[in-house]
Amino acid sequence: MKRAWLLALVALACQRPAIAARAPTLPVVLHVPHAAHPPVLAQHDDDAVWQTAVATGPWLQPNSHEAARPYSNARLLWDADNLYLCLYAADQDIEAHGGQHDAPLTAEDAFSLRIQADLPDAPTFAVEIAPTGTVTDARVVGGHVDRSWESGAQLAMDMDGTLNQPQDADDEEWVAFVALPWSRLGLTAAPGLRLRLAMDRCDVPKDGVRRCGTWAQTVDLR
C-alpha cells in the first residue's frame, strides 16, 4: 500500500496528463520557471516544487504530430546552480543492462537529451540516462565528439516494475529526476537565457517492436 501511495505522488509530481490521440499545440518558446527552492532529488516523492514546473506535454512519434506510445513527458525548472528535469517513461517491460558510466545506451531503455545555448556555433551537450541510473555524456563541437566531457548530472530514480524480468512481468513506469549543473554547460543561468532542447526515448514494448518518442523546442528561463 505504501509503495502504491509513493508512486501516486511521483505521478502527481510529474503531473502526467491523460494521453490524447494527438499532442496539443506547443507555444513557440517554452518558458521554464525559476524553482522556489532546489528540488531535493532523494525526496522527490513529496517535493511539491515539481508542481510548479512547466510540462512538455506528450512526446511525439518521429516526423509526426501524433503522441508516441509508450508515453513519455518531462517537466522543467531552474535555479542559479542547475537545470532540473523530471523525466517520465511509461514502460511495460523495463530493460537496461549497461551499468558503467559512459556505457553505450543505444539499445537500452533510456532518455536522450541534447542541450545547446541558442547562440551561433554553441556546442551541443548530449546526456543519456538509463533506468539503472547509468549516465552517458558527451560534448559535440563542429562534428567532433568529446566523450571526456562530464555533465556532473545528479540523479534520483524511481521505478514501478522490476528491471530485466521475463516478458510476463507487468511493469508500468520509471522516472528520472535530474539536476544538470550550469557550470558544466559553460552557461550562467539568468532570466532570458534561451536553450535549444531536444529529448527522446526509445523502448521495446512486449510486442517486440521498438518505438521512439521525441520532443524538441526552444526554451527560455523565466
pLDDT tens for residues 5-35?
334 334 444 544 433 334 445 557 999 999 9
Give the per-residue pLDDT at 166.
66
Rounded to two decimals, what is the model's pTM?
A: 0.86
Average pLDDT over residues 157-163: 83
Rounded CA separation 75/11 (Å): 12
Rounded CA separation 52/148 (Å): 35
Among residues of the chain, what percentage have pLDDT more than 90? Answer: 56
Q: Compute the half-sphere exposure of residue 61: CA atoms within 13 Å on the CB side of its CA.
A: 10
Give the per-residue pLDDT at 124.
97
Q: Where are the beta strands (DSSP E) in 24-68?
A: 29-32, 54-55
Instruction: Tell me the average pLDDT of the chain.
Output: 84
Report angle CA 133, 135, 137 to the nearest 5 degrees.
Answer: 165
| Cβ contact 161:94 at 8 Å | yes
| Cβ contact 78:189 at 8 Å | yes
2-18+26-221: CATH architecture: Sandwich (2.60)
pLDDT digit string, tens, across residues 62-72: 888 889 989 99
Give the per-residue pLDDT at 45.
64
Handedness of CA 182, 119, 35, 58 (dihedral sign): negative
Lowest mean pLDDT among 41-45, 135-139, 156-160: 41-45
Rounded CA separation 199/216 (Å): 6
All structural domains of the chain with their residue ranges = 2-18+26-221
| Cβ contact 84:39 at 8 Å | yes
Amino acid making up residue 166: P
| Cβ contact 171:162 at 8 Å | yes
Lowest mean pLDDT among 15-19, 82-86, 175-179, 197-201: 15-19
Higher pLDDT, 69 or 43: 69
Label residues 42-61 b or e (16+ Cβ within 10 Å = b): eebbebebbeebbbbbbbbe
